Amino acid sequence: MLNIAHRGASGYAPENTRAAFERAVEMGADMIETDVQLAHDGALVLFHDTTVTRTSNGHGPVADYTLDELRGLEIGRWFAPEFAGERILTLAEMVAEFVPRIPVVLEIKDPRATPALIEAIRAAGIADRVHVTSFFWPALLDAGKFDRSLTLGFLTRVFDADIIRRCVNRGLAQICPHVDSLTTDLVATAHDAGLIVRAHGISERHQIDRLFDTGVDGATVNWPDWISSPSGQTPGTAS
Q: Give catalytic residue positions.
A: 6, 48
**CA angle, 225 then 205 then 208, to 5°:** 80
Distance CA 107, CA 140 (A): 10
Distance CA 47, CA 34 (A): 8
Pure H helices in 98-238: 114-124, 137-146, 161-169, 184-192, 207-214
Q: Check if the beta carbon of residue 36 is closer than 8 Å to that of residue 106.
A: yes
SS3 132: strand
Q: Which of 15, 149, 35, 32 is nearest to 99 (CA)?
A: 32
Distance CA 160, CA 156 (A): 10
